[in-house]
Amino acid sequence: MAEIDPRDLRNAFGAFMTGVTVVTTRDAEGNPIGFTANSFTSVSLDPPLVLVCLANTSRNYDAFTAAAGFAVNVLSEAQKEVSNTFARPVEDRFSVVDWRPGPHGSPIFEEVSAWFDCSMFRTVEAGDHLILMGKVEAYENNTHPGLGYARGAYVTPAAEAEALNNRANLVVSALIAHKGQVLLVEDGKGTLALPETKVVKGGASAALRQLIDTCGAAAEPGFIYSVYEDESRETQHISFLCQASGDMADHGRFCDLDGKTLGRLAEPAVRTMLERFAAESRMGNFGVYFGNQVSGTVRPVTPGS
């Protein structure tokens, strides 16, 4: 076997896009401690287990190995500075974030995409890291889009959207979903459509935020779900998948994606997109569509397990 270059291997590991978390616990004196980690994964549903990896050289090593548990805070795309702070040797890391004790005792953060408060299930020595395996005792899942990380750089939905802002005749639509239902608006002729707006100024992210506010849905801006050119309308479309925390809205209503609903959609491209969304929702595995209103390709977002 050829000798492995550690720096090159690290770069290769970095090709795998991950989320970003801050793992927290309390030391022997009860002080909150934590570190940034993207080596986080779910392990099991029954029992509910997760794991993270802690470097043997970490100054938090002794405290975490002696702790009764830990929490995993999945950072949202607005929390890049939180990630940076907990990745550096900063003395008072917790001064930059709003936090509170979780139900099991470890610090949990506000405005995160999700958090998991865990009891320590098992620790496993693995080379130059220690695997911390936790049993989920409490958790919360929010609608804030998560912060991504790949090849040493952060990846956010907003940045991807702004990269498309120089396109002429750009239209933004919001695919706002709640438990498999999608928010649709109805025109005077009885046809249905996704909420959409033409981008005039302020960029795609501002247009999406305005759409959500106009609909009055309890949702946050999400990830790009579809990018396509509609040659018949001479427009470029970006559709964002946004998760809602409830099924109420001021404008439009949440609908099941059955045959009757799909048949009332005015745009064939939107009908095809929502058929794909219905299928992907059942599998829990989403992709991003690139193409035109007739044909294109779907690139997976979540790798199969």
Calculate mean pLDDT across residues 150-171: 62
pLDDT score for 205:
82
Higher pLDDT, 131 or 155: 131
Poorest-pLDDT segment among 10-14, 110-114, 118-122: 10-14
Higher pLDDT, 302 or 206: 206
Q: Is the pLDDT of residue 225 over 50?
A: yes
Q: Quick check: 297 and 289 in contact, CB under 8 A?
A: yes
Calculate mean pLDDT across residues 209-217: 92
- Longest CA pairwise span in the chain (Å): 69
Residue 143 CA to residue 47 CA, distance in Å, equals 25
Q: Which of 120-134, 141-155, 231-245 has the highest mean pLDDT?
A: 120-134
pLDDT tens-digit series, residues 4-40: 777 677 667 666 677 899 999 999 999 999 999 988 9
Calculate mean pLDDT across residues 76-104: 89
Calculate mean pLDDT across residues 197-214: 85
Q: Is the pLDDT of residue 103 over 60?
A: yes
Q: Is the pLDDT of residue 234 over 80?
A: no
Give 58's contacts (C-beta < 8 A, 6+ positions apart).
35, 64
pLDDT confidence tier of residue 97, bands split at 50, 70 and 90: very high
pLDDT above 90 coverage of the chain, percent: 46
For each of the domains in the chain, give its residue range(s) and CATH number, in order of start.
Answer: 6-150 (2.30.110.10), 158-300 (3.90.79.10)
